[in-house]
A = this chain, B = another copy of it.
Amino acid sequence: MCNIKVTIAYDGTNYHGFQEQRGTRFTTVQGVLEERLFRLAKVPVQVVGAGRTDAGVHARGQVISFAATDWPVPVERTVYALNSLLPRDIVALKAEEVPASFHARFSATAKTYRYTVYNGKWHSPFHRLYSYHVPKQLDLNAMREAARYLEGRHDFSAFRALGTPVKTTVRTLYQARVASEGDLLYIMLRAEGFLYHMARMISGTLLRVGLGKLPVCEVAGILASRDSLKGGPTIPARGLCLEKVEYGGENH
């Protein structure tokens, strides 16, 4: 029995999210991966993903893991074997054998998401699938100030859509940064974990601040309210990308 960790990137445009949904016929990233791994392993393989990205959300550094008895491909050939079978919008970047205790989701200690805003007057046809278009001028300094209020260990209920029940809505947001490069604006969020829609709702709140629709001083109050009607809005999935997943001390 061996346990394999694979880092992947995908364009989420044509997928109904990462996670396979029983009883539906939507194409998911997990579904495509399991189908291709089945072709290699000749037995069913169950894939776990570190982040359950929504429909349309992208990934540059998603991590998956799966256990396989008699995995027929040497681990150093696994990336080649997978890429020869995967559609071109999903790419395997790295494969490693990991201890049996490793679980892509439960072992993760931090995740980084990046939200991309296209801030030019007209949306770029080249960024239209990978960003959210905001033609109005944004106050970056105000957005940066607001982001600092959100960093730290907080109950993020105000930035959570109802979804799968969770034990706790407290999370540590290690970093919330706003950067710009030409017409592109990036919101980088690094946290120990994210609640459902949390990255998009935080990004939506920061955009309201940037547009002058929400004073910076009200952000702490929204966080404290723990009221999801006050946080947000949940801005479009296509702007979001799972950049990186970290695994504590063992540095997997």
Contacts and interface: CB of A to CB of B under 8 A. Distances in A.
A212 to B, nearest CB: 23
A58 interface: yes
Nearest to A89: B125
A125 B9 CA distance: 7
> Taking each of A11, A83, A125, A128, which has the highest tally of chain B beta carbons within 10 Å of its own beta carbon?
A125
A122 B58 contact: no
Nearest to A128: B88
A208 interface: no
B88 A125 contact: yes
A194 interface: no
A126 B131 CA distance: 12
Interface in A65-91: 79, 83, 88-91
A196 interface: no
A107 interface: no
A92 interface: yes
Contacts of A58: 125-126
A226 interface: no
Contacts of A124: 9, 91
Interface residues of A, number: 20
A18 interface: no
Contacts of A10: 125
Nearest to A13: B125
A161 interface: no
A144 interface: no
A91 B130 contact: no
Interface string A4-17: 00000111000000
Contact of A93 (B11, B83, B88, B122): B122
A123 interface: yes
Interface in A220-240: none
Contacts of A79: 122
5 contacts: A9-B125, A10-B125, A60-B126, A88-B128, A89-B125
Given A10-B125, A89-B128, A91-B125, 13 more contacts: A9-B126, A11-B126, A11-B128, A58-B125, A60-B126, A79-B122, A83-B122, A88-B125, A88-B128, A91-B122, A91-B123, A93-B122, A126-B130
Interface of A: 9-11, 58, 60, 79, 83, 88-93, 122-126, 128, 130
